[in-house]
C-alpha cells in the first residue's frame, strides 16, 4: 500500500541516519506525528493501543493526543513502524516531529568585545542564568491605576515611523481583538502588559464551591486545559506561559531565550496612556500568551497545540516569530502537519503573521526566500503575512529575508525598543553590544496593525484584512521588487482603508 511505503521511507531514513544512534550504536527515542484520516479513525487506532504507554519489544513508547486527528508517538523508529503496520487503513500520513527555532538575531560580531564582556560578567559573578529567581510566577491581575503620557514612546522609532501616535487617540477605545503571541511566553506581570493580557472568561471568577477558578485545579471551561487564565505553556505543559529569559552571560556563551516573547508582546499591545513605558501598535488589543519554545527551540507538536488552542479560544491574529530560516528547507516543505494547522486557522478566519527570517548574514547568501524558502513564512497559504525588517532609514535590514513572491511587506525590525522580562524596557538584548533586531521584531508590528484595523472592521474576512494591510503599504525603493507590496507598514494609510 502506498501509505505504508510513505511512512516507511520516513522511518527508514531516520533509522539509517547517524543522528538517531548513540555512540554505542543503540537506537534512541524519536518523536513522530501521525495524522489519522478522521477523528473516528483516530479513536479506532487508539483502541489498539494503550492511551498513556504501550509495550513493544520490551521498550516503552508514549502516545500524546494533540488534536482529534493528530497523535504524537515517541519511541524507536523501528518499533513505531511495527506498531503502525496494524493501522494502515486509519492513517493518512506519518512525519517526524520537526524541530522549530526562534528567529533570533543577536549575534555579536566583535569577538574581542564579546570575550571581554564575558570576562567582565564572570569576574563580577553576574552569572545571569535567569533574570528572575521565580520560575513561572502566577499571574497577578493588576488593575491599571495610573494615567498619563507614556514617557518612553520617543524611543519607539518604529511606532513613530508607522504613524502610531497619529491614530492611537482615535482608535484606542475600539473593541478588543485577541492576539496570540505564540513564542517563548510573556512576562504577564509586566506593568505595561498586565492590563492587556487576555483573561479566559471560563477560568476567571468563583466556582460553585466558592473557589477561585484561576487556581482551583479544575478545567472549568472544558477546553482540555486546567487554569489556563492568560494562555498555556505547551513547552512545560502547565498553565503559566511565563517568559523564562536567560541573562547576558548565558546568551553570550551558549545562546538561548533573551525574553523574545515579551519583547514581541510589547510591540503588539503594550498599554497606552498609563504614565509608564511605551505603547503597542494596538493598545486596545488583548494578548494571549502561548509558549511552545524554550532556550533550544521547540517542536512541531508544540506549534500545532498552540495554534489550535489560539484559534479555538478566540484569537483573531496569531503572531509568529519562529521557524526555519532556509537552513534545511526539507523540514519546512515536508512539514505537512504545520502547514495543515495553519490552513485550519485560515478556515476559521484567523490571520497568521510570520517573521520572514534572518537569512545568512555574512555568509554570502542573498536572503532571497523565493528560491530558498523559510517556513512557515513561505507557505503559500492565504492567511499568512510574511514580514521583512527595515531600519530607521527605510533600508532593508542586512539580515532580513526578502522575496517578491514569498515575503509580503516590511516593518520596523532594527534596534527596536520594547518591553523586557522583569518589568524592564530596552532596545538592546545585551547591554552595549547586541541590539534587538530581526524579522522577529518586525512581525509584531504587523500583528498589532491587523488587530487595530480588525477592531474597527469586525465584519472583514481574514483575506480582506490582509489585502488592506498590503494595499496600504507605503512603497519605498529598498523594497521595490523585494516584497509583494513593494512597501512598508503604515498605520495611518491602513486605518483609512474601507
Mean pLDDT of 125-147: 63
Q: What is the mean pLDDT of residues 338-343?
A: 97
Among 175-189, 329-343, 483-497, which is the least confidently predicted range?
329-343
Q: What is the pLDDT of residue 327?
A: 57
Which homologous superfamily does the CATH classification assign to the domain defined by 102-495?
Peptidase S8/S53 domain (3.40.50.200)
Its CATH architecture, for the domain 2-97, is: 2-Layer Sandwich (3.30)
Percent of the chain with pLDDT over 90: 60
User: What's the pLDDT score for residue 1?
Assistant: 26
How many whole angstroms from its chain centre is CA 223? 21
Q: How far apart are CA 117 and CA 17, in angstroms?
A: 40
| Mean pLDDT for the stretch of residues 145-150 | 84
Residue 404 or residue 108, greater confidence:
404
pLDDT tens, 15-24? Answer: 333 333 233 3
Closest CA to 188 of 240, 239, 260, 134: 240
Query: So what's the pLDDT on residue 85?
Result: 83
Write the pLDDT tens digit of every residue in 261-318.
999 999 999 999 999 999 999 999 999 999 999 988 899 999 999 999 999 999 999 9
| Strands 70-75 and 30-36, sheet pairing | antiparallel
* pLDDT (0 to 100) of residue 225: 96
Q: What is the spatial distance between Cα 115 and Cα 122, in angstroms, rounded to a whole number?
A: 10
The mean pLDDT of 255-260, rounded to a whole number, is: 82
Closest residue by Cα to residue 106 from 117, 91, 95: 117
How far is it, in rounded angstroms, from Cα 396 to Cα 257? Answer: 25
pLDDT average, residue stretch 238-245 = 92
pLDDT confidence tier of residue 14, bands split at 50, 70 and 90:
very low
pTM of the entire predicted model: 0.89
pLDDT of residue 339 exceeding 90, the answer is yes
Q: Give CA torsion, residues 88, 90, 95, 101, to 10 deg.
A: -160
Residues 476 and 486: their CA atoms lie apart, in Å, by: 7
- Looking at residues 63-90, what average pLDDT do you find? 86
Does 33 score more than 90 pLDDT?
Answer: yes
Instruction: Say if residue 366's pLDDT is above 90.
Output: no
Domain ranges in the chain are 2-97, 102-495
Amino acid at each position: 500500500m502506498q501509505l505504508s511505503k510513505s511512512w516507511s521511507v520516513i522511518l527508514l531514513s531516520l533509522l539509517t541516519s547517524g543522528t538517531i544512534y548513540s555512540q554505542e550504536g543503540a537506537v534512541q527515542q524519536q518523536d513522530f506525528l501521525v495524522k489519522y484520516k478522521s477523528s473516528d479513525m483516530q479513536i479506532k487506532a487508539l483502541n489498539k493501543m494503550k492511551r498513556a504507554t504501550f509495550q513493544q519489544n520490551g521498550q516503552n513508547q508514549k502516545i500524546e493526543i494533540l488534536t482529534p486527528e493528530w497523535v504524537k508517538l515517541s519511541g524507536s523508529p523501528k518499533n513505531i513502524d511495527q506498531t503502525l503496520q496494524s493501522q494502515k487503513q486509519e492513517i493518512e500520513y506519518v512525519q517526524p516531529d520537526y524541530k522549530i527555532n526562534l528567529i533570533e538575531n543577536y549575534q555579536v560580531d566583535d569577538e574581542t568585545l564579546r570575550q571581554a564582556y564575558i570576562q567582565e560578567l564572570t569576574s563580577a559573578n553576574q552569572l545571569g542564568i535567569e533574570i528572575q529567581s521565580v520560575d513561572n510566577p502566577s499571574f497577578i491581575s493588576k488593575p491599571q491605576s495610573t494615567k498619563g503620557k507614556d514617557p518612553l514612546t520617543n524611543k519607539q522609532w518604529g511606532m513613530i515611523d508607522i504613524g502610531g501616535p497619529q491614530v492611537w487617540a482615535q482608535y484606542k477605545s475600539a473593541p478588543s481583538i485577541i492576539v496570540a503571541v505564540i513564542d517563548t511566553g510573556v512576562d504577564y506581570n509586566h506593568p505595561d502588559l498586565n492590563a492587556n493580557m487576555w483573561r479566559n472568561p471560563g477560568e476567571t471568577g468563583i466556582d460553585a464551591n466558592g473557589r477561585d477558578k484561576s487556581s482551583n485545579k479544575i478545567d472549568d471551561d472544558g477546553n482540555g486545559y486546567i487554569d489556563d487564565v492568560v494562555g498555556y505553556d505547551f513547552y512545560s505543559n502547565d498553565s503559566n506561559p511565563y517568559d523564562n529569559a536567560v541573562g547576558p552571560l548565558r546568551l553570550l556563551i551558549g545562546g538561548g531565550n533573551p525574553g523574545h516573547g515579551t519583547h514581541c508582546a510589547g510591540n503588539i499591545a503594550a498599554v497606552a496612556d498609563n504614565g509608564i513605558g511605551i505603547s503597542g501598535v494596538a493598545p486596545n488589543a488583548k494578548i494571549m500568551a502561548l509558549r511552545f519554545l524554550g532556550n533550544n527551540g521547540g517542536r512541531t507538536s508544540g506549534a500545532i497545540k498552540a495554534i489550535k488552542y489560539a484559534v479555538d479560544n478566540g484569537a483573531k491574529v496569531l503572531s509568529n516569530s519562529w521557524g526555519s530560516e532556509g537552513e534545511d528547507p526539507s523540514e519546512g516543505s515536508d512539514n505537512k502537519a504545520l502547514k495543515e494547522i495553519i490552513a485550519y486557522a485560515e478556515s476559521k478566519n484567523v490571520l497568521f503573521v510570520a517573521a520572514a527570517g534572518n537569512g545568512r548574514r555574512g555568509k554570502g547568501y542573498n536572503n532571497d526566500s523565493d528560491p530558498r524558502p523559510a517556513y512557515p513564512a513561505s507557505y503559500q497559504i492565504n492567511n499568512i503575512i510574511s514580514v521583512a525588517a527595515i531600519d530607521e532609514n527605510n533600508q532593508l535590514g542586512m539580515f532580513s529575508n526578502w522575496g517578491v513572491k514569498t515575503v509580503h511587506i516590511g516593518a520596523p525590525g532594527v534596534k527596536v525598543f520594547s518591553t523586557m522580562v522583569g518589568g524592564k524596557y530596552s532596545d538592546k538584548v545585551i547591554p552595549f553590544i547586541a541590539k534587538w533586531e530581526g524579522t522577529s521584531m518586525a512581525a509584531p508590528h504587523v500583528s498589532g496593525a491587523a488587530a487595530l484595523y480588525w477592531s474597527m472592521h469586525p465584519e472583514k474576512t481574514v483575506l480582506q484584512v490582509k489585502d488592506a494591510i498590503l494595499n496600504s503599504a507605503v512603497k519605498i525603493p529598498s523594497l521595490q521588487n523585494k516584497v509583494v507590496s513593494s512597501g512598508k507598514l503604515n498605520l495611518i494609510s491602513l486605518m483609512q482603508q474601507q
